[in-house]
């Protein structure tokens, strides 16, 4: 039923749009309800393309950095196990779901888009875990660990890096857009390759994901 609701919301932007259950190549242990590229049998017309640009359904794609962070958390569960975790800019919820699967005590997901929060809850249930949606990541009890992936697509978002440190004692950040974060508090943990799912044929440089850790204040 919730997949139908996600389809309905997607079709407000793209009338031909629909979702399908799929496992991103970069984190196949997690199943997500994402955009179905098979629905586009013909190129977008001008009005459709403009609508997609004006109101992008970010939640309907699993971006490269989210896949890398999710896979890394499943491989290194000690970073979130038994901790209260907040996923900032949850999108499809892949990172939040991975944290829950890795044994986090409580997982919160924050996103400006209400449909992204619906997608996150829907995807979490599909994977047998619970994720709590929150509208304001600054409210309530602070998390032990703050997770953020694919949120620096606009360089003007860099001040968020400091904001994250004021909210949690431990911050994990994954990004493929900026080769230099401009914040020496963030230390590189690993670099991995991944592609957005479904594949958007992005520049190769955007498929190289860097994972960082920073201590909070």
- Model confidence at 53: pLDDT above 60: no
Write down the residue that tokens 């958390």 correspond to: 73
**Strand arrangement of the beta sheet that strand 145-149 belongs to:** 132-134, 106-110, 84-88, 145-149, 170-175, 208-215, 187-193
What pLDDT was estimated at residue 179?
Answer: 85
Under CATH, domain 64-215 is a member of which superfamily?
Vaccinia Virus protein VP39 (3.40.50.150)
Write down the residue that tokens 């049998």 correspond to: 41
From the list 217, 212, 213, 216, the residue with the least C-alpha distance to 178 is 212
Distance CA 108, CA 101 (A): 13
Q: How far is CA 146 from CA 61, 106, 109, 169, 172, in A?
A: 21, 12, 10, 8, 6
Average pLDDT estimate for 144-156: 90
Residues of the chain with CATH 3.40.50.150: 64-215
More confident residue, 54 or 201: 201
pLDDT tier at 217, thresholds 50, 70, 90 = confident
CA torsion through residues 22, 199, 145, 78, sign: positive
pLDDT tier at 46, thresholds 50, 70, 90 = low
What pLDDT was estimated at residue 1?
Answer: 59
pLDDT tier at 163, thresholds 50, 70, 90 = very high
The beta strand positions in 54-196, using DSSP E, are: 84-88, 106-110, 132-134, 145-149, 170-175, 187-193
More confident residue, 29 or 153: 29
What pLDDT was estimated at residue 25?
Answer: 96
For strand 208-215 and strand 170-175, is the pairing parallel, antiparallel, or unpaired?
Answer: antiparallel
Which backbone phi and psi does 156 adopt, to 5 degrees?
-70, -10
Q: Which pLDDT tens digit goes with each residue over 82-94?
A: 999 999 999 999 9
What pLDDT was estimated at residue 52?
Answer: 59
What pLDDT was estimated at residue 14?
Answer: 77
- Total residues found in the chain within this entry: 217
């Amino acid at each position: 039923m919730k997949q139908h609701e996600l389809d309905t919301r997607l079709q407000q932007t793209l009338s031909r749009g629909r979702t399908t259950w799929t496992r991103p190549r970069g984190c196949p242990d997690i199943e997500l309800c994402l955009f179905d590229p098979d629905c586009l049998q013909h190129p977008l017309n001008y009005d459709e393309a403009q609508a997609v640009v004006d109101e992008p359904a970010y939640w309907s794609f699993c971006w490269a950095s989210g896949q890398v962070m999710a896979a890394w958390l499943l491989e290194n569960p000690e970073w979130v196990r038994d901790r209260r975790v907040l996923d900032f800019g949850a999108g499809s919820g892949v990172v939040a779901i991975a944290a829950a699967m890795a044994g986090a005590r409580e997982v919160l997901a924050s996103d400006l888009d209400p449909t992204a929060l619906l997608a996150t809850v829907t995807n979490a249930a599909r994977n047998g875990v619970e994720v709590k949606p929150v509208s304001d990541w600054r409210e309530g009890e602070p998390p032990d660990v703050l997770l953020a992936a694919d949120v620096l697509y606009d360089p003007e978002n860099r001040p968020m890096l400091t904001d994250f440190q004021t909210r949690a004692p431990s911050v994990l950040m994954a990004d493929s857009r900026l080769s230099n974060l401009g914040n020496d508090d963030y230390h590189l943990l690993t670099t991995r390759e991944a592609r957005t799912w479904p594949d958007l044929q992005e520049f190769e440089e955007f498929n190289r994901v860097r994972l960082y850790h920073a201590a909070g204040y």
